[in-house]
Amino acid sequence: MPYVNIRITKDGATSEQKATLIKGVTDLLVETLGKNPATTVVTIDEVETENWGIGGVPVSELRKQAKKK
């Protein structure tokens, strides 16, 4: 019955990569806790880099600064 929400920056993750995440997390819950995969739900949220901050700075800004160096 678990519900898992994965939040990543929107950076062009492919359908295959997202399917790998969904499969991997579901398998992990089955193997570790014996959960029923049939009712295990995984959702992935892809968040724009200007809407994601770390260290008080948007990721969009961190990347601009990294490029300048």
Report the C-alpha gap between 8 and 34 in whole angstroms: 27
Contact indicator for 26, 34 with CB cutoff of 8 Å: no
Active site residue 37: no
3-state secondary structure of 41: strand
| CB closer to a copy of itself, 55 vs 69 | 55
Cα Rg for the chain, rounded, in angstroms? 16
Q: Using CB under 8 A, which residues numbered 11 to 30 contact a copy of itself?
A: 11, 13, 15, 17-29
Q: Nearest approach, Cβ of 30 to a copy of itself (angstroms)?
A: 8
Site residues for a copy of itself per CB under 8 A: 1-9, 11, 13, 15, 17-29, 32-33, 35, 37-47, 50-61
Residues carrying an active site annotation: 2
